[in-house]
Amino acid sequence: MTLTTAELSEKLGLSRATISRVLNGGQGVKPSTIAAIRQEMDRLGYVRPAVRPGRKPKNQRGTPSRHGAIALIVADTSILFDDPGMANFVQSVQEACSKRGLHLLLERVGDKGPLPPTLQRAKVDGALVMMFPGLTPEDDTIRRISEQFPVVQVFAPGHPLTNIEHVTVNDVAIGTHAHLLFTAAGCQSVALVNVWPSFKESLLIRSRACLDRSVLAGRPVGVFVQDQNQAGLWPAGTVVYDAFKEIVEGLKKLPKPIGIFLPIDARAREFSEALRAGGLDGPASARLVIAGVTPRLVEGIQPVPTLIDPNFDEVANSAIDRLLGHAGETGARPQTLMVQPRVLGA
């Protein structure tokens, strides 16, 4: 029997759009509905043509068409406003897109439900995914996105997906730089001050890279964190603090000069003021190293600290270049690129 989709639509009591979606892979249609439609097609003797007229399924990747846009996909847009580093990264992505004549689309994707309509229509050349992988829902979501168009994952230091391109900051190098700076300055002890109120894997990696090398070098260390739940991640003797003045009192007990490492620039100015109020603002007392370069957080600090730039500009440019370069290349082997930080004002 020769049937058209219009006739199928009439006989099955369903819209032509639903019939078309089932014929093209079933995206956005319930599995039970797909099964019922296909069963009825078989009963009616419908034979799908070898080549359907009109638009082809979007998952077919031959030579990709260019749309002049990429998507930046996050699990929670609030992190873009709470974390100064991530806000800086979004700015870097926007500037990198502008240099290439690309539009930037920001989308939030949860671990349940369909992808947003803009992503389903695949009107982008690819996506930078900035989520928190390592848990099955997030991994499955990233894989779903990668089935639609090329994907490069950014900022997943401990557990990138092995089948997807990955670009991140070399957080171990940030901590190593801090250790080497303290060594060159002749610091007799090292203190780590985590000013971020909740767990961030990148900050843990940076901090432990500095602390572990300091311990191996035989220096006394002090660790100060805000969250009691984080204490187990750090060496014995970690201090949970409520106010910076508590940290200053603890620092006074360490051999001078002290190398003080802030693994993120949040509250850096406030912390430096606490050091000055406690008499620990001179080079004979303390050397301050901050991982981060957000101007409103680090400008005007006296004495001028040494800054370690995570190099988000390079992360953004490298990720976009990989995204556009690997679009449509099904045989390319995914790799992880770790961008090297830069030391400023050493």
Q: Taking Cα atoms as reference points, which of 268, 335, 321 lies closest to residue 97?
A: 321
- Verify that 245 and 208 share a domain, yes or no: yes
- Verify that 295 and 187 share a domain, yes or no: yes
Q: What is the pLDDT of residue 328?
A: 44
Q: What contacts 63, CB < 8 A, 6 or more positions away?
A: 328
Within-domain flag for 57: no
* Contact by Cβ (8 Å): 196, 264: yes
- Verify that 302 and 319 share a domain, yes or no: no
Q: Say which CATH number the domain at 235 has.
A: 3.40.50.2300
Q: What is the pLDDT of residue 325?
A: 80
- Verify that 119 and 144 share a domain, yes or no: yes
Instruction: Give me the long-range contacts of 75-84 (CB less than 8 A, separation at least 24).
Output: 75/108, 75/109, 75/110, 75/111, 75/130, 75/131, 75/132, 75/138, 75/141, 76/108, 77/106, 77/108, 83/200, 83/266, 84/264, 84/265, 84/266, 84/292, 84/294, 84/297
Question: Which segments of the chain have a pLDDT < 50?
Answer: 1, 49-63, 133-136, 327-328
- Verify that 135 and 152 share a domain, yes or no: yes
Within-domain flag for 58: no
Q: Which pair of structure tokens corresponds to residue 82?
A: 């709470």
> How many domains are contained in the chain?
3
Q: What is the pLDDT of residue 315?
A: 95
Residue type, 287: R
Q: What is the pLDDT of residue 329?
A: 53
Give whole-number Cα distances, 327 to 62, 70, 255, 330, in Å. 10, 12, 55, 8
Within-domain flag for 51: no
Within-domain flag for 330: yes
- Verify that 247 and 127 share a domain, yes or no: no
Find the domain containing 205 and state its range.
Answer: 171-309
Within-domain flag for 187: yes
Exposed e or buried b for every residue in 214-250, given b needs 16+ CB within 10 A? beeeebebbbbbeeeebeeebeeebbebeebeebbeb
- Verify that 301 and 191 share a domain, yes or no: yes
- Verify that 198 and 286 share a domain, yes or no: yes
* Contact by Cβ (8 Å): 281, 302: yes
- Verify that 40 and 164 share a domain, yes or no: no
- Verify that 96 and 143 share a domain, yes or no: yes
- Verify that 161 and 208 share a domain, yes or no: no
Within-domain flag for 50: no
Within-domain flag for 59: no
Distance in angstroms (rounded) separating the CA atoms of residues 65 and 90 = 25
- Verify that 179 and 305 share a domain, yes or no: yes
Within-domain flag for 60: no
> pTM here?
0.76
